[in-house]
Amino acid sequence: MTILLHTTGIDPKPWLAAIEAQAPRSPVISAMDADRFAEVRQAWVWKPPPGVLGLLPKLEVIVNLGAGVDAILADTTVPQHIPIIRAVDPNITMRMTEWVALQVLFHHRQVPAYLAQQRQGTWRQLPQKAASALTVGILGLGVLGRSAAKPLMGLGFRIAGWSRTPKHGLGFDTYHGEAGLGPFLANTDILVCLLPLTPQTIGLINIALLRRPRRTGPLGGGILINGGRGGQQVGADILQALGEGTLVGASLDVFETEPLPASSPFWSHPKVVITPHVAADSDPEAMTAYVLEQLARHAAGQTMDNLVDRNSGY
């Protein structure tokens, strides 16, 4: 059962080692081995070169080594009938949950202001508000959004969530669809994005949206935290919102162009925290075990978990 392994921008060696250790009888080839494409049954990929998945005549399953499948779905040459499994793993979920909690607390506890004071040798105590004075609004109530909400609720933040379809029983206020976006934003102080990139979410975080969250809370303006995809945000609009005070801070893990170009004004912006698309990495060993479990289900004629729905785009 030959596997094509391709990981753009990520070292493939830990993936190769994990596959060799856990599936020793599966030969692994790379996208450079075109002479062996005819034998490939599985493609384990992260951002594969456009076109390559359409060159594998015996391909049975595509394994996306990350959670977001936008790069694969953007490639029109990918055969439509091949199932795509995406990464859903407690390791990824908890890493994202940590990242979101870290960024929310970073802004709530005014770390940027204290760091600026520290650089100037200033000892000044700023007013301190309880978490319960703020609502964290989470765009996307999937695996990651629902998990991120839990520790924030435990800390006392009020939570609001927005999804495509209605949600019930999550223990916080939920909104859905276009009609729900306005009331959701009006009830939000800190906006967290954990959406997939789809035709509906491209450019969603623009100046019109950024002006809608509440700005009467203790932070004096909005906070944007994006761990979803860079294509969902309009960089120039975020800078505009920061400039006019609509936003008083932003934490961005994802960008329209990655790596973030050296010329980007985000690098030196005093109100912006940048992490280089590391909010939640896939762990090769854990992910390989999960994929092999799913493939065993597939081989036994059972339905695999977390299959991508091409119609909804995630």
Q: Are 239 and 265 in contact (CB under 8 A)?
A: yes
Out of 48, 68, 222, 284, the only residue in the binding site for ligand OXD (CB under 6 A) is 68
For 11, residues 6+ apart whose C-beta sits below 8 A from its C-beta are: none
Out of 66, 140, 213, 222, the only residue in the binding site for ligand OXD (CB under 6 A) is 66
Least distance (Å) between residue 260 CB and ligand NDP: 13
For 191, residues 6+ apart whose C-beta sits below 8 A from its C-beta are: 137, 139, 185, 205, 213, 222, 223, 224, 225
**135-139 and 158-163 strand pairing:** parallel
193 lies in the site for ligand OXD, by CB under 6 A: no
Q: Which residue number places its CB atom closest to ligand OXD?
A: 66
188 lies in the site for ligand OXD, by CB under 6 A: no
Active-site annotation holds for 277: yes
Active-site annotation holds for 158: no
Distance CA 80, CA 311 (A): 11
H-type helices in 211-308, by residue range? 235-244, 284-299
Least distance (Å) between residue 182 CB and ligand NDP: 13
Considering 215, 277, 298, 310, which one is annotated as catalytic? 277
Q: HEC states along 243-271?
A: HHCCEEEEEECCCCCCCCCCCCCCCCCCC
The mark string for 264-293 relative to ligand OXD (x by CB under 6 A, - otherwise) is: ----------------x-x-----------
Distance CA 151, CA 157 (A): 9
Region binding ligand OXD by CB under 6 A among candidate stretches 62-70, 73-81, 178-186, 230-238: 62-70
Q: Which does 198 bind (CB under 5 to 8 A by kind): ligand OXD, ligand NDP, none?
A: ligand NDP
Distance CA 195, CA 38 (A): 36
Q: Look at residues 58, 54, 49, 47 and name the one whose alpha carbon lies nearest to residue 3.
A: 58
Which pair of tokens denotes residue 130?
Answer: 């309880």
For 162, residues 6+ apart whose C-beta sits below 8 A from its C-beta are: 137, 138, 139, 140, 141, 174, 175, 176, 180, 181, 184
Least distance (Å) between residue 50 CB and ligand NDP: 18
Out of 48, 227, 231, 249, the only residue in the binding site for ligand NDP (CB under 6 A) is 227
Beta pairing partners, 192: 138, 225
Out of 19, 87, 193, 242, the only residue in the binding site for ligand OXD (CB under 6 A) is 87
Q: Are 15 and 284 in contact (CB under 8 A)?
A: yes
145 lies in the site for ligand NDP, by CB under 6 A: yes
Nearer Cβ to ligand OXD (131/202): 202
Region binding ligand OXD by CB under 6 A among candidate stretches 47-55, 60-68, 145-153, 233-241: 60-68
Q: Which does 145 bind (CB under 5 to 8 A by kind): ligand OXD, ligand NDP, none?
A: ligand NDP
Q: How many chain residues interact with ligand NDP (CB under 6 A)?
A: 32
12 lies in the site for ligand OXD, by CB under 6 A: no
User: Given the structure tokens 């199932």, which residue do they identify?
Assistant: 83
Q: Look at residues 235, 141, 220 and name the one whose alpha carbon lies nearest to residue 184.
A: 141
CA angle 305, 87, 152 (to 5 degrees): 100
Nearer Cβ to ligand NDP (56/223): 223
Nearer Cβ to ligand OXD (96/239): 96
The mark string for 176-205 relative to ligand NDP (x by CB under 6 A, - otherwise) is: ------------------xxxxx-xx----
- Under the rule (CB under 6 A), what is the footprint of ligand OXD? 66-68, 87, 92, 280, 282
Residues with a catalytic annotation lie at 229, 277
